Amino acid sequence: MSCIFCRIGKGEVPATKVHEDELVVVIRDIRPQAPTHLLVIPKEHIASLWDLENEALAGRLLQTSARVARAEGLERGWRLIANTREHGGQEVDHVHLHVLGGRALGPMLPGSHAH
Ligand code: AMP
Ligand code: ZN
């Protein structure tokens, strides 16, 4: 099994876990883009959001994102990102949600304009 997020989910590769239950693990990103940068990862291997057909799991991932954002104290706001497939810039082919916060994040995309 070579999938890095499957291995983290099984505890075979070390990661800084901030939450774990039977379905989901949340870790700190090793290359943080903001003071809080978490990855919400299902333990089941699902390649991307494109392939996520389990509605209950989709809901769990979303709800867990909000729970960990709250636990991180992100009252001023935060952002949820799901890089998906090639044009989305997905690097790890195991679905995950980025929770980013702790600073003003600016425009959604590089080069986009605030109105
Ligand atoms: P993406 O697939 O584009 O959403 O990006 C994958 C993210 O996973 C990047 O932000 C990486 O820094 C992060 N990442 C990759 N390997 C690890 C790891 N072993 N532990 C924590 N974060 C990781
Ligand atoms: Zn996997």
* Sign of the CA dihedral running 20, 25, 31, 36: negative
In a domain, 52, yes or no: yes
In a domain, 91, yes or no: yes
Half-sphere exposure of 110 (CA within 13 A, CB side): 0
Domains identified in the chain, total number: 1
pLDDT digits (tens, 9 = 90+) for 18-42: 999 999 999 999 999 999 999 999 9
3-class SS at 28?
strand
Give residue for tokens 């494109």.
50
The answer to whether residues 114 and 107 touch, using CB atoms and an 8 Å cutoff, is yes
In a domain, 109, yes or no: no
Domain that holds residue 19: 4-101
User: Which ligand 1 atom is nearest residue 29's CA?
Assistant: 22
Check pLDDT > 80 for residue 12: yes
In a domain, 57, yes or no: yes
Q: What is the CATH number of the domain that holds 33?
A: 3.30.428.10
Q: List CB contacts of 61: < 8 A, sequence separation 6 or more.
A: 24, 40, 42, 95, 97
In a domain, 113, yes or no: no
Of all ligands present, the nearest one to the C-alpha of 28 is 1
Of all ligands present, the nearest one to the C-alpha of 31 is 1
In a domain, 50, yes or no: yes
Asked if 98 is an active-site residue, the reply is no
Q: Specify the pLDDT at position 110.
A: 72
In a domain, 115, yes or no: no
C-alpha 44 – ligand 2 centre gap (Å): 7
Q: Specify the pLDDT at position 113.
A: 63
pLDDT digits (tens, 9 = 90+) for 50-102: 999 999 999 999 999 999 999 999 999 999 999 999 999 999 999 999 999 99
> pLDDT: is 112 or 18 the higher one?
18
In a domain, 49, yes or no: yes
